[in-house]
């Protein structure tokens, strides 16, 4: 309880005591009893009540979250130009009065839900977009009275600033801004831009009327039943198209995978064929090289034999004789061919030659 309220209580008690003592005075006077002491009490209580009432009427306590507008019968304009600041303040008793206004934040909500808005029932803002679609906007306006402009707000709006300024102003600005955007932009890409534009307009217009916009909150956007149904159908169609695209993409990936597998198999077959061909070439090359080496060896061997025969002519005869069977008795030679080798001598020192023509 502040001092001003306490003094008001004392003034009330003093008036009650005055009335009580006055009643006692009347009762004692009617009985012709002494009233001198009672008259003194009546006067004391009357003076105390008047003084306390006067002081109570002149003292005003302004809380920190409020400012006071002084309505004055002694001022030229009928009011003080400066608002009363927080604290215990003095005004001219019985000639001035104070109307307090809150300077703390206030919220005004307009919602389609009846239990959320300042007004019961559907209080959303019906607005039409640039492409002719009707939408319903839920919004909250958080604002406060500018402490510097409290007196002006009282003169122009009094306590009607919420219903006659904030509400119609915000609804009108929302409708004007929404009409500049298409319905798709309102709910998607341009929603933030639209909210910023509303904030700027609201800030400017409220400042002109002594209020401060703290924030404008775009709570929700609702479509008409017809448009909501069309949007749902569109979303279903888009989902189906997207699903079909995914199916096509899956089939394409499967076909690409099969093609890559086929290419891999073909490459493997080519590599295998190349390997086999290379192996054949290597084998043929090795065989040819082996034949060349063998021929070179045979040629070198024949050269050595020729050299040996050139140096020792009887070597051939030796080899011939050495290869004859040890018990040979008869040899058949052609009758019309010369003898290349000396015929061996048979046991007993004779050589038996039987022409081939005489053999049956």
pLDDT digits (tens, 9 = 90+) for 227-237: 766 665 666 66
Q: Are 114 and 121 in contact (CB under 8 A)?
A: yes
As a whole number of angstroms, the distance between CA 127 and CA 118 comes to 19
pLDDT value of position 335: 59
pLDDT value of position 352: 46
pLDDT value of position 330: 57
Q: What is the pLDDT of residues 170-189, one digit of tens each?
A: 999 999 999 999 888 888 87
pLDDT beyond 50 at 358: no
pLDDT beyond 90 at 144: yes
The two structure tokens encoding residue 1: 């309880």
- Mean of the per-residue pLDDT values for the chain? 82
DSSP string, 27-59: HHHHTT---HHHHHHHHHHHHHHHHHHHHHHHE
Number of neighbouring beta carbons within 10 Å of residue 167: 17
pLDDT value of position 354: 46
> Which whole number is the average pLDDT over 264-290?
79
As a dihedral over the C-alpha atoms of residue 191, residue 194, residue 196, residue 197, rounded to 10 degrees, the angle is: 180
pLDDT value of position 356: 46
pLDDT beyond 60 at 349: no
Residues listed for the chain:
360
pLDDT value of position 289: 81
* Distance from the Cα of residue 358 to its chain's centroid: 121
- Quote the percentage of the chain above a pLDDT of 70: 82
Residue recorded with tokens 């400042």: 207
Name beta bridge partners: 136. 126, 222
pTM comes to 0.59
pLDDT value of position 294: 82
Number of neighbouring beta carbons within 10 Å of residue 114: 11
């Amino acid at each position: 309880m502040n001092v001003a309220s306490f003094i008001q209580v004392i003034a009330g008690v003093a008036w009650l005591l005055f009335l009580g003592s006055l009643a006692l005075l009347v009762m004692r006077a009617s009985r012709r009893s002494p009233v001198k002491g009672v008259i003194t009490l009546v006067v004391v209580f009357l003076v105390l009540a008047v003084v306390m009432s006067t002081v109570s009427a002149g003292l005003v306590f302004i809380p920190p979250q409020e400012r006071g507008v002084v309505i004055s019968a002694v001022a030229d304009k009928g009011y003080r130009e400066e608002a009363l600041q927080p604290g215990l303040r003095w005004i001219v008793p019985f000639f001035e009065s104070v109307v307090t206004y809150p300077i703390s934040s206030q919220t005004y909500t307009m919602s389609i839900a009846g239990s959320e808005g300042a007004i019961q029932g559907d209080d959303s803002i019906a607005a039409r977009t640039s492409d002719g679609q009707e939408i319903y906007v839920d919004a909250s306006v958080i604002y406060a009275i500018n402490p510097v402009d409290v007196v002006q707000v009282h003169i122009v709006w009094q306590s009607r600033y919420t219903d006659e300024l904030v509400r119609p102003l915000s609804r009108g600005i929302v409708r004007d801004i929404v009409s500049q955007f298409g319905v798709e932009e309102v709910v998607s890409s341009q929603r933030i831009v639209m909210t910023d534009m509303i904030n700027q307009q609201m800030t400017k217009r409220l400042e002109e009327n002594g209020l401060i916009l703290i924030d404008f909150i775009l709570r929700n956007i609702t479509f008409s039943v017809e448009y909501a149904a069309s949007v749902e159908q569109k979303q279903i169609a888009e989902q189906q198209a997207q699903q079909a695209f995914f199916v096509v993409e899956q089939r394409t990936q499967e076909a690409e995978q099969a093609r890559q597998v086929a290419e891999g198999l073909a490459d493997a077959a080519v590599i295998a064929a190349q390997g086999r061909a290379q192996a054949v070439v290597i084998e043929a090359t090795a065989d040819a090289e082996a034949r060349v080496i063998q021929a070179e060896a045979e040629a070198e061997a024949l050269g050595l034999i020729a050299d040996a025969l050139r140096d020792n002519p009887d070597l051939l005869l030796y080899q011939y004789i050495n290869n004859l069977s040890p018990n040979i008795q008869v040899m058949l030679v052609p009758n019309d061919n010369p003898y290349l080798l000396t015929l061996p001598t048979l046991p007993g020192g004779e050589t038996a030659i039987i022409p081939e023509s005489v053999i049956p």
